[in-house]
Amino acid sequence: MFSAPSASAASSGTTGADPGRGILRPVAALLVSGLVAAAALVGAGPAAADDTSRHHGGAAAVLDGLKTFDSAVLRIAGEGGAPARTQELPAGLFEMTVDGGGKLKTYCIDLHNPTQDQAKYLETPWAETSLSGNRNAGKI
């Protein structure tokens, strides 16, 4: 669950359409697929990086940093009549070096838990991740 597909999106070119709206669906699809893959990895990252005694096989890789990046905008709905607010977050492709050779890229948006450069991440069964008991995991 380390890698996520990458894609590029272009404007739809539809006359009269909201500028940039044509890229929203492909970008949203990329974000969702990337977040599902990366969230399980990153969400379990601190625990996995600290406790290698519970590793039951699977891939292991070291985070080499953000290689291709920009930012994502998180829109948070206002509650009780309050206006919605936005927050700009770092997002992009992180490169990881896999134990035994090879490199891979993972997509990540740092929402609440920043990544730790040079941390070792372990492929972890879903039940052992911090997301397995999170009722909002399906929204990621």
pTM for the structure as a whole: 0.48
Please list the residues that pair with 90 across neighbouring strands. Answer: 71
**Cα separation, 32 vs 30, whole angstroms:** 6
Please list the residues that pair with 131 across neighbouring strands. Answer: none
> What pLDDT shows up at residue 17?
43
pLDDT band (50, 70, 90) for residue 99: very high
R_g of the chain, CA atoms, integer Å:
17
> What pLDDT shows up at residue 53?
58
For 88, the token pair is 């700009």
> What pLDDT shows up at residue 103?
94
Length of the chain equals: 140
For 102, the token pair is 């090879």
